[in-house]
Amino acid sequence: MRQPLRCWFVCALAFVLIGVAFVMAQLPPMATPPLPAPLMYLRFTGPKNTKITIYRGFDQGQTLELPCTVGFRPGYVYRFAVTDVPSFPRQVFCPSLEVRGTLALQPKLRNAEFPAHINFSEDEFFKALNGKHIKKVVTLERPDLAIPTATKPDEPLEIVVPKDRDPYVEGAERGQPLVTFQLGQRFLTPQELNAMAIPGTVLLPGERVLGTPRFGPPLMWNWYPVHDPLHGPRHPSEFHTLWDGGDVGVPAGVTRGGKLKGLDATDTIAEYTDSKGNKRIAASNRVGVCVPRFIIFKSEAGLGATGTRSAINNNYVMQTPSSAVGQASVKEDFRLTRTDGLGTQMRLSGTFGSMTASVMGRQQGLEVKAFLRSVESVDAIAAGPSKAAEPADGPLKIIKWPDKSCVNVGEIVTFYLKYTNTGGQPISDINVNDSLMQRFEYVKGSTKTDRDAVFTIQPNDVGSSTLRWEFGAPLQPRESGLISFEVRVR
């Protein structure tokens, strides 16, 4: 009785194993786990003598005096202690950090050189002790949506969000939210702070190596973002690269009255007149400067109303163009092309020819015929050597480049503009126009040219300036000119 039962069990187990193997064979291969993301560096500033204590799970905490810069692994939640605030010397504050993302820079650049700043103010500590909950969202601002306001690295722009709005949502509309900072009344003991810490996630000043975390990141939203399946995810450079130069947006052109139209923000356009009196334009190349800028969206609420929830059953979005463009179909199209005149004349000045018989007779049965043929003569006028074709007009070529490829907010960048006559005829009435983007502020008196020019500055539509150089002297063939100017990065 036991033998048949054992055989039946072995056969059933074999069928199960075969089924499992078949199902596993149909599954796609497992993807390679992603490499650890670069660290997100935060620079903490605040009142003098204020200290913070960072816990890493294997020590009693490391106390640092402000200001200090600390590296955090993205995807984790951190708690630390703030002590020795001058106005509250005996109070201990325990804010939290949610690091949801980091900078994605070029391999040659280091994230530690571009930290985000979090400033502790005594006013915020006072509000926290009186029952307020303070939330700050550090956002990497998109350059095309940048606010034309000058900032400093240690003084980022702070925007107060209304109570009925979430600062994280506000930050996502203007860039990429990276860090969420929250401060309230909750107090945690050093043992609790140390128990909540995960080893291998915090890099303190002076350290060069960071171990592997014991657990995976619990904040997964920024690690697996949702994006449009057709357009794909946004390229990381869209959030920290300032593009300038070229001709983007509405194409630039010259009206019948000779005025330049279509000079949008970031455009660099040159006007000139060729040897035949025609008005022409030329656009420069497009350049990019890496300048990450962080802005902070801040909200304050009572502890009884710190959480909100909103549900949307139906959401219809309709976008209409700001201007309507009409279309008209062509029912009939008649074209008539007529040659005004066509003729070819080729005439020799003179042609003379003759052929006559001079002697004809018989002598003793022999018939004799003789002909005299005069030599033909032609009188003609030989054409002289052909004239060499005049050199053709060529376009004006303009090249733009910066002296630095990556800077911090508040630093100065020098731009160069080199224009060259590539044709064989001189060109005149050269005007170079450069419209700056909202993150660039022209440094007064910094422009330099190697040719005499009239320089003017006008405000543009994005809160910056349009620079214009007018050159009166013509530019000879193969001749070049150079312009330089400085901008301060906002």
The angle subtended at Cα 365 by Cα 361 and Cα 368, nearest 5°, is 35
Q: Find tokens 């089924």 and name the residue.
A: 19
Task: Work out the pLDDT band at 153, boundaries 50, 70, 90.
Answer: confident
Query: What is the 3-state composition of the chain as percent helix, strand, coil, each rounded to the nearest 5?
Result: 10, 35, 50
The angle subtended at Cα 419 by Cα 416 and Cα 424, nearest 5°, is 165
Q: Is the pLDDT of residue 326 over 90?
A: no
pLDDT of residue 8: 65
What is the per-residue pLDDT across 403-452, written as a single tens digit (0 to 9) for each? Answer: 999 999 999 999 999 999 999 999 999 999 999 999 999 999 999 999 99
pLDDT of residue 489: 94
Q: Find tokens 């280091």 and name the residue.
A: 110
Q: Is the pLDDT of residue 28 over 80?
A: no
pLDDT of residue 332: 38
CB 141 within 8 A of CB 294: yes
Q: Minimum mean pLDDT among 30-44, 183-197, 277-291, 459-473: which range?
A: 30-44
Structure tokens at 34: 């992603």
Q: Minimum mean pLDDT among 52-61, 398-407, 450-459: which range?
A: 52-61
Q: Is the pLDDT of residue 347 over 80?
A: no
**DSSP 8-state assignment for residue 129:** H
The angle subtended at Cα 402 by Cα 397 and Cα 403, nearest 5°, is 130
Please state the rounded mean pLDDT for residues 348-356: 43
pLDDT of residue 473: 93
What is the per-residue pLDDT across 245-298, written as a single tens digit (0 to 9) for each? Answer: 999 989 999 988 889 999 999 999 999 999 999 999 999 999 999 999 999 999
**Nearest Cα residue to 39 out of 93, 116, 94:** 116
**DSSP 8-state assignment for residue 331:** S
For the chain, the average pLDDT equals 80
Task: Work out the pLDDT band at 384, boundaries 50, 70, 90.
Answer: low
Coil vs helix vs strand at 416:
strand
Structure tokens at 16: 């199960």
For the chain, the C-alpha Rg in angstroms (whole number) is 40
**So where are the chain's domains?**
40-226+293-304, 241-291+392-489
90 vs 80: CA distance, rounded Å: 16
At the second CATH level, the architecture of 241-291+392-489 is Sandwich (2.60)
Please state the rounded mean pLDDT for residues 108-123: 92
CB atoms within 10 A of CB 451: 16
Please state the rounded mean pLDDT for residues 97-111: 89
By DSSP bridging, strand 68-72 and strand 76-83 are: unpaired
180 vs 168: CA distance, rounded Å: 8
Q: Is the pLDDT of residue 487 over 60?
A: yes
CB 409 within 8 A of CB 490: yes
